[in-house]
Homo-oligomer: A and B are copies of this chain.
Amino acid sequence: MEKIKVGVLGASGYTGADLVRLALRHPAIDLTVLTANSHAGKPMRDVFKHFSHVDLPDLISIDDADWSSVDAVFCGLPHGTTQAIAQQIFRNDPKVKIVDMSADFRLRDPDVYKEWYGLDHVATEIQPEAVYGLTEHYRDEIAGARLIACPGCYPTAVLLSLLPLATAGLIDTTDIVIDAKSGVSGAGRGLKENTLFCEAGEGLSPYAVGKHRHMAEIEQEIGKASGRQDLRVNFTPHLIPMSRGELTTSYVRLEGGSTAADLKETLLTAYASDPFVTILDGETLPQTQMVRGSNYVATNVIPDRIPGRAIVISTLDNLVKGSAGQALQNFNLAFGLDETLGLEQLPLFP
């Protein structure tokens, strides 16, 4: 089999590096271009020492990349910087598929993008081509897409657990409280005081309360599933002293006489044939230790003590299923490969 030539933009971030880690062991991928502007010219092993054992192309500047030489690019750039690059690739190299891990194309409405990210959308003409890359729910669209906007890590955990319930009308989508917890890698590799070991370690902090941008995606998708415009959910994230992993605890009100058991049954049916979504047995509670380093999501529904309410818990590895892993899963679909290729790793525990 001739391998697919792949470039990774932003290979010096955690997301880009995890994509490289997975792509290196993917049987159909040939990693030919790695970009990282601030580290251009360096070998990847100088930037991420866990690559000391393997050979990789040196990092180059984005401006020096030749997109005509690749079949696909994964973008791990900061939000606000991907639109212009995608636009350029779209125009000049129509055969190149773009799998974007940034937020730049996730919101269908450019005005909503501007509201949340404070920036004008500079590639509105290609936004309609972007497919929201929540694999299990947009598989057909992803298969034919040129531009895949992979969801944020939190939205992936939340939507996989709540979308089937919203679609089936089992929960009141106007009364959803989502308490979310993430490891520190979710904040990226940039130098910030609050992600220093001594600041984030041995302690727990809520952040961006009432303001986190992932809310926009969650509202977009649950709103669409439940036929409500201007839906608002509560979403409150917390920074947890661990590197990887994410867990969302969603408090929902049951609708139409449904029970927690109905919710669970609906999830079991929805994901019966999905290789990476595990609906846990009995009352087994999801925990991040179940998924670390893997592309799996684990979910369960627990009855609340308050009648008419239930608790839906979901966990994933924010860098894998929440980012690079889901991107690779989408890449597989877009190139007609088995969805699980390169993603077979089991969770690493302890």
Contacts and interface: CB of A to CB of B under 8 A. Distances in A.
Specify which of A206, A244, A296 lies most central, judged by the most chain B CB atoms within 10 Å of its CB: A206
Interface stretch (A63-71, A138-146, A190-198): A190-198
A247 B206 contact: yes
B291 A350 contact: no
Given A198-B14, A245-B203, A285-B205, A346 B53 contact: yes
Contacts of A1: none
Interface stretch (A73-81, A121-129, A299-307): A299-307
Contacts of A305: 210-211, 215, 232, 234
B52 A298 contact: yes
Contacts of A215: 305
Nearest to A184: B197
A135 interface: no
A140 B280 CA distance: 46
Contact of A206 (B202, B232, B285): B285
Nearest to A25: B344
B346 A24 contact: yes
A288 interface: yes
Contact of A346 (B54, B315, B344): B54
Interface string A303-319: 11110010101010000
A330 B285 CA distance: 37
Interface string A278-305: 1011011111111111101010001111
A287 B240 contact: no
A220 interface: no
19 contacts: A14-B198, A21-B348, A24-B346, A49-B289, A50-B291, A50-B292, A53-B276, A53-B294, A53-B346, A179-B251, A181-B204, A191-B192, A191-B193, A199-B289, A201-B202, A202-B292, A203-B288, A207-B285, A210-B304
Interface of A: 14, 17, 21, 24-25, 45, 48-54, 177, 179, 181, 184-185, 189, 191-193, 195-207, 209-211, 215, 232-234, 236, 238, 240-245, 247, 249, 251, 276, 278, 280-281, 283-294, 296, 298, 302-306, 309, 311, 313, 315, 344-350
Given A189-B193, A191-B196, 18 more contacts: A21-B346, A25-B344, A25-B345, A48-B349, A49-B284, A50-B346, A179-B179, A179-B249, A179-B251, A185-B198, A197-B200, A202-B202, A202-B350, A206-B313, A207-B285, A210-B303, A232-B305, A241-B241
